[in-house]
Amino acid sequence: MEKEKMWLEFNQFPKKVPLMVVMKAMGMEIDQEVVQLIGRDPRYSFLLMPSIEEYINCRVFTQAQALEYLDSKAKGPRFSNMAAEKDGRAFNILKNEFLANVPMHGDNFRPKCIYLAVMMRRIMDAILNKDAMDDKVCGACGLLGYYNHKLKAGTCSSCKNGKQISNVKVPYACKLLIQELQSMNIVPRLKLEDTKV
């Protein structure tokens, strides 16, 4: 989330693209469908409104417009094969590369829409959930650290030292989201900033 809007960062799109445009490109043309997939809690709808306004600002209202918008943002060769020429780059990226771990049957994006809605809900739960847990984060690499009982200090499993480990309070839902992403070989990195109290 950035400026209260949900974005997708994906290596096939050099710049962030609005997440609701991606949902529209995968066939979720009616906002109510997305809201129902995420959950009927009004707090979710409230958090989703800036993202809905963003795709309206992009002048994207249909699946065809969303695919055209994503085609203009996609990087790489214009067409690499006949299927890409027929369907468009964005369609093939969404079908074959985006959330590749989610099985699809033909051109039915519904399983990917459901999975993406669950991830959006987890992000929203992390924002809304105030049950914070103490945790350690490495300031150098942004990965979660752990407490080393032998050294009696926080340690980063990636950097193998504890020089830049900071204690932070992380919402429980956020920690679950990070662990789930790590189990899928997606490595989320946290960026630490000084806060003035």
Instruction: Look at residue 195 in the predicted model and tell me its pLDDT.
Output: 65
> Average of pLDDT values for 5-15?
85
What are the tens digits of pLDDT across the range 119-164? Answer: 888 888 878 876 667 788 888 888 888 777 777 778 887 887 777 8
- 46-60 b/e with 16+ CB inside 10 Å = b? ebbeebbebbeebeb
What are the tens digits of pLDDT across the range 21-45? Answer: 999 999 998 988 998 999 888 888 8
Which residues have CB under 8 Å from 172's CB, separation 6+?
A: 129, 131, 132, 133
Q: Which domains does the chain have, with CATH numbers?
A: 7-128 (3.90.1110.10), 132-183 (3.90.1800.10)
Q: Can you give the pTM of this predicted structure?
A: 0.66
pLDDT-wise least confident of 11-15, 55-59, 172-176: 172-176
CA dist., res. 31 & res. 49, Å (int): 10
CA dist., res. 184 & res. 175, Å (int): 15
